[in-house]
Each structure stands twice: as structure tokens, then as C-alpha cells.
Structure 1
């Protein structure tokens, strides 16, 4: 009897040799008379950047300098999409600064309490409403369904896919405690104009967040929506909110992923190429790897247990199913063991080369033990995808490790080899 180990995606020689030594020692301890071989394919059939990554924007990063304004703007909107009320929250909590910076104590008017009524400023004049209260009233009065034609705001909302989420965006912003508190703090006209801009950005961000990937909205269209809403709220459409934007602009560059991705895209792409690239290359040129596996399996005519990890399991499922469908079962392949494999999921997607979506495993396909860890997001169940097939068995193993560590933790667990030993006995492989 022979075991043939087929490694997974992203594995290259050094990693393979360490992993295979572990698998070989564990299998040999349980099957002292069996041969344990490996089918290393990473160098020959794995992915590389043939042009050195010249297709990747930012592969050669610009010299360190001041933040790119486009990056800063993109990061700020990423923060707004995650929390449309974040600018309003800054204004609600920080107001417009200490005396002398335009706040209520500088003589421009009273500041309001959390509900928009005067209350935070002990010198507020009773009965005098902050200017921001009027802005909030204008927001509450905006129509929920602007017409498609004859109204630029309505045309933009419908043309960008934001019309469906716009009414809820209006309501959630207008009814928020952040908006009420910020309006109460906006004592004078200057603060009211800034509040109008922050409210317009909050409404636009909420509508964009609701639409998600279904939004068809460019940056220019987004900015025009903000301008139109700001104007309708009595603000200056050409002047962004200075205080909140300044605070959140700096924060966004630190806490959002886009600037980091822009800066590190080249190195990230290079680092991800073996793992992701191997899968993509297999989808396009999988026949090369399958032919290599077939040659390695048939080089020894004796009974063979095929052990495939991750992409190695996908390739083995494809190979065995294609051969069985041609009524040319791979000689010697008596048992398939897949560990942390995506083959069942690819079958559901219709992305397995060997099987149409929903098709059963062909006659001649060997017994299949599919081992998974529910913490491993790259491991899938085979039994429910091939219901009623007695050849297919799922077995769960728990490494108590999070992903991605759990994707490789199978090989150090005695439970894996115990289950393989049981499957070998059930298949009556001597």
C-alpha cells in the first residue's frame, strides 16, 4: 500500500518539505509497511508574476510625502460609509471649540442641550433658538421622493441607485441624537452652514451604505448630491465642514484600509500571488497539474491512498471524476482523503472541471473521506453536496485554532490519522 500526499495552494519547496516530513512520520508510525510519497507541484505548476508585477499599480511606491488628497478623501468617505453619523458625532461632542473659536461663548449665540434646546451654556438666553435648529427643521421637511425629472437631486438619486435608500437615510439622520445635539451647539450662522454640510454628507453616506455594491455612483456624483443637499439646508455648497472634516480626515487616514492598501498594494499582491495565484492558474490550466498527478499515481500500480490538502484535494477530485466519467478509473486509486478542501464548494458553484452543477459522482469514483474544521473558512462539506452517496463521508476535526492557522493545523492532530486508519480499514486496503 502507498500513500501519496498532494499539497495545497501557496506551498513551495521549503514549506512542502517541512509539511511532508510531518505527514510522512505520522503515517509511517501507523502504517509501518506502507510507502509514503509526495507529489510536489508548487514550482512547476504554481503561479508566479511573469512580468515581475508590472501590471500592479503602485508596485513601485512613490517617495514618502504628504498624504495624497485623493487618498485622504477616499479614506474619509470610507469612514462615513461605515458610520454615516461620525461627523455629526464630532460636532455634537466637541461643538465649535472653546471661547474665541466661534462657539456660543464668543458671543454668536447660545448653545443647546442634547435635545436641541438651550442647556449646555449657562449664559444662554431663554427662548432663543440656536441657528442649527432651523437647519435640522429644513432637513426634516425635505421630500422623501424627489421627482425623476425636473429636479437635479431626484435625477441624481435615481441615476445612481440611491433613491431606494434615500428616505430612510433622511429619517435616520434627522432623528438621530447626534444631529439634535450638533444642531443645539450650532449657535450662529457660520456653525449652521457647517452643520448643513455635515448633515448632507451623513444623508449621502447613509444612502450609499444602504445601496452597497448596487450603487452606481461616481465621486463626482456623490459630491454633487452633497452640494445639492447642503444648499437645500441653507449651507454653502462649496465649503466643506471645516472642523469635523479636519478631525475625521486625519483619523480616516489612520483607521481605514484604503490608504494602507494603496501604499502596500505591490507588496501585498506579491505576497498573495502563491496562494491566490495557484488557484486562479489551476482554474485556467488545471489539465497540466492533473496530468502530472495522473503520472505520479500510475507510476506505482499498487493500491494507493490519495491525501490532498486544499487545492491538492480539488485537483484530485477533478482528476478522479474525469477519469471515472471516461470509464478509465485511475489505476490503484482506492481511497481519496481531502483535508481542508474547497472541492464541494466549487461543485456548488459549477467551477469543478469534472462535474456539472448538481451532477453526481460518476461510477468508478473511489471512496472519499473529506476532513474539515468548522473554523477553517477554506474547508467545506462534501456529504450534503452529494446526498445519499455511500462513498462520501465528512469528518470534523477541531484544532481550537482560528483561521488561517487552523487550515494547516490538521496535520499535527492524532484524530486525523486515526480517522484515516479507520477509512483504510473500511476500504479493505492491505
Structure 2
């Protein structure tokens, strides 16, 4: 039996580690039932902590009073707190709910500055060789209806990812824009409840059945759903959107806000798992029906509402939530710095765990876990390791920039280094390619989740394709 040693990434601590390990074990069991999973819990033993309870965070729990920031004395303005340069910007006219903007392609929709279309972010060699994809062997697009359909699909995927990127920061953005961008829908017939009353009533029904709510969401972050519903029930944005949007659009926007709220709360509390776009969208579809919408089947355009929103939303929201964000994310940043400064203990911990196993060992690693594994395999003789699998790894980037502790470019990997399967989501900005640097050992495989960054970095373990890729390499 093959032992799979799971090496987690940055910021993972209990109880999240137990939930993460359970998800990985379940995925492996489905794809490779002959494997045995062992977890390398380096975070508990060697991970970073806030030793002074966050005293270094401005306005944090351990910090004192912080003076108001000063303006540049040379700007001719009165002294006072700095103003967000985008705070006074007015958004352009909003499309009416259920319609799409008509002024050109959305930002980030797969076009370059000279209006040439980029290849699809998830394109692979297999795509290039498969008839009917609209992609030639050299990765360029063929003209004609197939290429046009591919381009439309790319633009839709990019627009949806852009919309969710803002929703993760401001879950009420679409509801707010819907309320501001359309005219009131007119008087409600006497026998018909107002749109906001109807949707609030259905939200209350979800709240009355927490177990059913978790089942409906079907997401890793489902336990956060009850708080998300309570937040929506008191939101003024819901009332404004109900006055401007039809019932179907309102149901979909409310469902998207609900899912965005629970994912944001899960991220704030350090949940190491994030659903793929497929799982996220499936939850939205089910919730939209439960909130009074029709089953999916027609394009209504809510995802486009966010594409004309002002971008300073993200910055202002991040500043307001800095203390909470830092406390949730400090293990991630701290773990990286601590490893680069004092990584011997991490590597020894992993090497000892591997040597304690009998039979062949596969290292299955995420993020910083992949860096630890690469360094350990370079510095320790571990012949029982037959395969290294990394997901969302920065080891190749550190090697190329001269920051990998064990090896500097252009030094090669030692001959004893095992085959390396490097999985990366095209939208994961913390994932890097290994094959161009280590062609004799590494194979890069794109693994798109459909999620925007940073959620793409945590969506590997909810993606069945990861476990299928690992199972395909086991002997």
C-alpha cells in the first residue's frame, strides 16, 4: 500500500487541519482507494504565532492609539486624514437589472491592449490537438464560428471571475448596484407581497432550518451560512434592490450575496478550503430557486453589474477589516518568513515522518508545504519517496529568484529527486511552473477551479481533478 504524506500549506491550524485532512482523505479514497493518508502537521510544531497578541498591527488588539495620518503638506490642501483618491468618484450609469452594458468588452475579458484575444487561461496541449476547440497546435485561435464561440466562453468566464473577485470583498456590491441602477418597479398588486418581503420571508425559512441551510449550500464553508443569512436579513441593500429588480433577478443577486458572505466569513476565520466555481455556482443556483427565482436556463446578466463598479471598494473594505484580516492571515505570511529564516526544523520534521513509514511514499503538498518538501528532498536522502505532488507551489519561483534555501539556479536537482507532478490553477497567482526549470523531473498540469484569486489558491482540495491526477501517477 502506498502511503501519501500530506504536507499542508501556510496558516493551517486546528481545527481547520482536521477538516482539511478529512477532505483530502475522502478525495484520495474515491480516486485511489489503495492509499493510506498521513498528515505532516508542521504548523502546530513549527508555525508562526503572534507572540505579543498582535501589538504590531495598527489599531489591533495589542496596539495603542494610532494618530491620524497626515496629508502631504505640499498638496495645498488642509491638514487632515488622507482621503481615498477614488472615494469621490461617481460610477457611470448603471445598466438596468437584467441587462448588460453595451460599451465594449468587459475589462479582463480575455483581450489585450491592441484588442487581440489571449489564448484561454486553461488551454492545454490536449486542447490544441483536439478537433473543434478553435485552437491550433501552436496555441493560436482559428478563425470562424468555433473560435468565436471559444472567445465568447472565455469572455464570460473572465467576466464572472472578475465579478466574484469583487463580491468576495464586498458581498453587497451587486445588490447595491441593482438598487442604484434601475427605476422602481411600481406599485405591488394587493394580493402580491412586496419583493423584499417575499425574499426576506424565504431567508427566514432558511434560518429556521440550519441543517437544511448547510445541506442547501453544499459548500466547505457551510457552517458559516447562518450568520450570512442573519446579515442579509438586516441589510438595507436588499430593500433597495427589491424596489428596482424583478423577483428572479432579486433571487439570484441575493443568493450570490449570501454565498459571497459565507465565503468571506470563512476566509476571515482561516478556513483552508474553498469550493471550485462549479460548486459555488451550484449553491447559488439552488439558493436562487429557494429564494423565489426560476430554475436557471436564461442569461439575466447580474454578473455584469459589477464590471462597472468603482475599484476603490476593495481597498477601503480591506483597510476597515485590517485587524481581522491580519489576525486571520498572519499565520500564512508569518509561516513563510519563519520557514525561510528557521526552516531546518520543518525539514527535519518531514524527513523523520517519511522515514517512519513502510513501503513507498508519495508527498502531496500545498503552497509552502511544497517548498518544504522540495527542500527536504534536496537535503535529505529519502529513497522511499516515489512521487512528489505539489499544488499551488512557489518552490520554482523561489529557486529561480535565488530564495529557495536548498538550491540556487542554475544548480540541478539531485539525481535521487523523485518525479514531480506540479498542479497549478491558471488563476492562482501563487502557483508557479516547475517543468521549464526542471524538465528532467517535473511535469506541469493546469488544474482550473474557475475561482478568482485568492480563492483559487484554496480550491485545489475540493477539485476532483486533483485526486484523479494523483491516482493516474500512482503505480
Paired residues for 1:258-277 under 5 Å: 261=319, 265-277=322-334
Q: 1:257 to 1:295 in 2, by over 3 A?
A: same
TM-score, structure 1 normalization = 0.52
Alignment match, 2:14: 13
Match of 1:288 among 336, 341, 345: 345
Question: Structure 1 unaligned runs (5+)?
Answer: 90-253, 324-328, 426-430
Q: Deviation of residue 27 (structure 1)?
A: 1.2
Q: 1:17 to 1:276 in 2, by over 3 A?
A: same
Q: Which moved more, 1:310-319 or 1:406-415?
A: 406-415
Alignment match, 1:394: 444
CA RMSD for the aligned pairs? Answer: 2.9
- Contact 2:3–2:38 under 8 Å retained in 1: yes
Q: Deviations over 1:297-339 (max 9, x none)?
A: 000131001100111111000100122xxxxx21311100001
Whether 1:75 aligns to 2:46 is: no
Q: Deviations over 1:161-190 (max 9, x none)?
A: xxxxxxxxxxxxxxxxxxxxxxxxxxxxxx
- Secondary structure at the counterpart of residue 385 of structure 1: coil
Q: What is the number of residues matched between the two proteins?
A: 245
Alignment match, 2:421: 369
Provide the rounded CA distance (Å) in 1 between the counterparts of 2:461 and 2:314. 36
Provide the rounded CA distance (Å) in 2 between the counterparts of 1:359 and 1:63. 50
Provide the rounded CA distance (Å) in 1 between the counterparts of 2:429 and 2:69. 37
Question: Structure 2 unaligned runs (5+)?
Answer: 72-78, 91-311
Whether 1:334 aligns to 2:383 is: no
Paired residues for 1:32-43 under 5 Å: 32-43=33-44
- Secondary structure at the counterpart of residue 393 of structure 1: strand
Q: Deviations over 1:116-164 (max 9, x none)?
A: xxxxxxxxxxxxxxxxxxxxxxxxxxxxxxxxxxxxxxxxxxxxxxxxx
Provide the rounded CA distance (Å) in 1 between the counterparts of 2:371 and 2:413. 14
- Contact 1:75–1:256 under 8 Å retained in 2: no
Q: Which moved more, 1:409-418 or 1:308-317?
A: 409-418
Provide the rounded CA distance (Å) in 2 between the counterparts of 1:259 and 1:424. 45
Provide the rounded CA distance (Å) in 1 between the counterparts of 2:422 and 2:318. 38
Provide the rounded CA distance (Å) in 1 between the counterparts of 2:13 and 2:396. 25
Whether 1:321 aligns to 2:381 is: no
Whether 1:423 aligns to 2:473 is: yes
Whether 1:359 aligns to 2:406 is: no
Larger Rg: 1
Alignment match, 1:134: none
Provide the rounded CA distance (Å) in 2 between the counterparts of 1:260 and 1:296. 39
Q: Deviation of residue 353 (structure 1)?
A: 0.9
- Contact 2:59–2:65 under 8 Å retained in 1: no
Higher helix share: 1
Q: Deviation of residue 396 (structure 1)?
A: 0.6
Alignment match, 1:52: 53
Paired residues for 1:18-33 under 5 Å: 18-33=19-34
Q: 1:321 to 1:288 in 2, by over 3 A?
A: same
